Structure 1
Amino acid sequence: MKRAFTFPGQGSQAVGMGKDLAEAFPEARAVFAEVDEALGQKLSTIMFEGPDDLLRLTENAQPALMAVSLAVIRVLEARGVRIADHAAFVAGHSLGEYSALCAAGTFSVADAARLLKTRGQAMQKAVPVGHGAMAALLGLDLDTARAVAAEAAEGDVCEVANDNAPGQVVISGATAAVERALDIAKARGAKRALPLPVSAPFHCSLMQPAAEAMAAALADVAMQAPAAPLVANVLASPISDPAEIRLRLIEQVTGVVRWTESVAWLTGPGGVTHLHELGAGKVLTGLAKRINADATASAIGTPADIEAFVAEVLA
């Protein structure tokens, strides 16, 4: 049995996230307190109580999702389940790469929180509100989605942002171009083409100012080799060298999240049989089952999930 730990990205946040962990485990409370202190804000209060519109702000959602994932890891570690011993690889969807790296010891919790606050703010500032958009194209393969984006661009930016699973591709770019892509996608056979409720066009070339901001932020942060290799979004293959990790995190801001290929690598050449999503929600667990129906996928985000997983692993 070979395991990989995966970490969710933006969109998995919900008011109340992490509250049950904080109530059940002192290790979780310590993580949330550390994040609050690092950011100089009561992010945990926003996580536990809302309001939803404040939690959904990119600069809050990103460190909040990391905090829940790290709370799960710290509780597991306290019970004898460690990445170095029990995971062959880590991977994260977009911001989830920071959670994965923090869990694997590359970043401290405080540094990861500050990096994600900076990342969220930089991504929001990169494009004026209303000038960028994202859309999910359902039922199209990756090549067709790329062709749709190229046809819709008409001199504007319109690019594939996320290859989440077979038949689920997200595009990103200028608002007018993304709106054109919706009709083109339907004409090309998409089952659905849906605008996404996001505040900025993530993972496209319009995010270049945010990539530059992250290059500056990452240059000042101490990084260690992760306890298990990271399967990087932009490569869909494993890396461990801190210098390369830094470069790939910068590239990731404007690059494609190659999640289908990443899970295919993990469950193919990587030899992984069990994928465990640590943190809020079950989005990656659902995607994993679509990418490889033969892989075992589970979400570990509640006290009951944690206790069951510990019992399974240490049996």
Structure 2
Amino acid sequence: MKRAFVFPGQGSQTVGMGQELAAAFPVAAQVFEEVDDALGQNLTKLMYEGPMEDLTLTENTQPALMAVSVAVARVLESEGKFKLSEISEFVAGHSLGEYSALTAVGSLQLADTARLLKIRGRAMQQAVPVGVGAMAALLGMDIGPVEELVKEAAEASGDDGVCVAANDNADGQVVLSGNKEAVERAIELAKEKGVRKAMLLPVSAPFHCPLMQPAADAMVEALSSVTIAPPTVPLVANVTADQVSDPEIIRKLLVEQVTGRVRWRESVLYMGNQEIEQLVEVGTGKVLTAMVRRINKAMTGTAVQSPADIEAFLQTL
């Protein structure tokens, strides 16, 4: 069976994440310890105990989710006595999940990734004053009509009218991002056009839109001093929905990703066109697994996060 490993993004965090994994597998605990050392912060305690409001701060959420994903990947390799590259054709990650994916296949070093995501999370949080930006989910409307909708909403909002399709997640599931006024206008327009559901999301900043340019600039600087090796299997990149292995192109795409659209639906379709039959979601939650069948009914999704999940998955190989 041809498979790809995929890595979740922000929104999958929960208090207690990683605790059962670290208790069962020393290799997982070692990942968390290395991340704590790299950050000079007891992130592990925050992951295990909360409080949720601190864990949800973007600068904590991003390295925490990455740590759990990489821990699961390393446990799979340790228990299965293989490398991910030996049993997969591609890796991909949703937004910050790209950093997890690249770390899992040796393109980035764990300590570097932890520091990069701390910088990325803080820069994204600080790029736009609280209350200026917003994000919204549209359910029941595909990307084509959404692109017309956001253009109309932006034009109606004048000079402050930034409104874009930030995440093309699945058929009928698109996330908008931009100035609060323009995004609220888009919600009203969507309702007028009969969208099934349109709602503001409880996020702290408008991710993956042009308002994030200060954060993209910060990542240019942060990534410039980090070694990026060719991944052992290609990455299917968010902003291109195509495979990439060249380190310098990966560096460029990680910057573009901050302001660019997460083309997840297209990425999954691309992998399907490359005869991938199974997407294995590595880390906290089952968000990406739930999307698989909505995008490609011939593909299966498997979420691997707990010791029981790891055992069950290894038995299928």
TM-score by length of 1: 0.98
Query: In structure 2, what is the Cα distance between the partners aligned to 1:47 and 1:293?
Result: 34
Matched with 2:2 is: 2
Query: In structure 2, what is the Cα distance between the partners aligned to 1:6 and 1:72?
Result: 12
Residue 164 (structure 2) aligned to one of 159, 168, 180:
159
Secondary structure of 1:276's match? strand
Task: State the shift of 1:296 in Å.
Answer: 1.3
Matched with 2:288 is: 284
Deviations, residues 185-220 of structure 1 (Å, cap 9, x unaligned): 111121010100000000000000100100110000
TM-score by length of 2: 0.97
Task: State the shift of 1:311 in Å.
Answer: 2.0
Matched with 1:188 is: 193
Matched with 1:301 is: 305
Task: State the shift of 1:117 in Å.
Answer: 0.4
Matched with 1:12 is: 12
Residue 242 (structure 1) aligned to one of 241, 244, 247:
247
Task: State the shift of 1:50 in Å.
Answer: 0.5
Matched with 1:75 is: 75
Deviations, residues 33-71 of structure 1 (Å, cap 9, x unaligned): 000110011101111110000000000000000000000
Amino acid corresponding to residue 140 of structure 2 in structure 1: G
Identical-pair percentage = 60
Amino acid corresponding to residue 119 of structure 2 in structure 1: T
Residue 212 (structure 1) aligned to one of 209, 213, 217:
217
Query: In structure 2, what is the Cα distance between the partners aligned to 1:197 and 1:27?
Result: 34
Secondary structure of 1:5's match? strand
Secondary structure of 1:285's match? helix
Query: In structure 2, what is the Cα distance between the partners aligned to 1:282 and 1:205?
Result: 29
Task: State the shift of 1:293 in Å.
Answer: 1.5
Query: In structure 2, what is the Cα distance between the partners aligned to 1:239 and 1:308?
Result: 31
Deviations, residues 90-125 of structure 1 (Å, cap 9, x unaligned): 000000000000001011110010000000000011
Report matched runs for 1:262-281 at 5 Å: 262-268=267-273, 270-281=274-285
Secondary structure of 1:65's match? helix
Poorly superposed stretches of 4+, deviation over 3 Å: none
Query: In structure 2, what is the Cα distance between the partners aligned to 1:75 and 1:138?
Result: 36
Task: State the shift of 1:83 in Å.
Answer: 1.5
Secondary structure of 1:14's match? coil
Are the counterparts in 2 of residues 25 and 75 from structure 1 also a CA contact under 8 Å? yes
2:3 matched to 1:37? no
Deviations, residues 241-270 of structure 1 (Å, cap 9, x unaligned): 0000000010000000000000001012x2
Matched with 2:134 is: 133
Matched with 2:58 is: 58
Task: State the shift of 1:78 in Å.
Answer: 0.9
Are the counterparts in 2 of residues 81 and 310 from structure 1 also a CA contact under 8 Å? no
Deviates more, 1:133-142 or 1:74-83: 74-83
Residue 202 (structure 1) aligned to one of 193, 200, 207:
207
Task: State the shift of 1:81 in Å.
Answer: 3.2
Query: In structure 2, what is the Cα distance between the partners aligned to 1:242 and 1:70?
Result: 20
Amino acid corresponding to residue 88 of structure 1 in structure 2: E
Contiguous gaps of at least 5 residues in structure 1:
none
Task: State the shift of 1:84 in Å.
Answer: 1.6
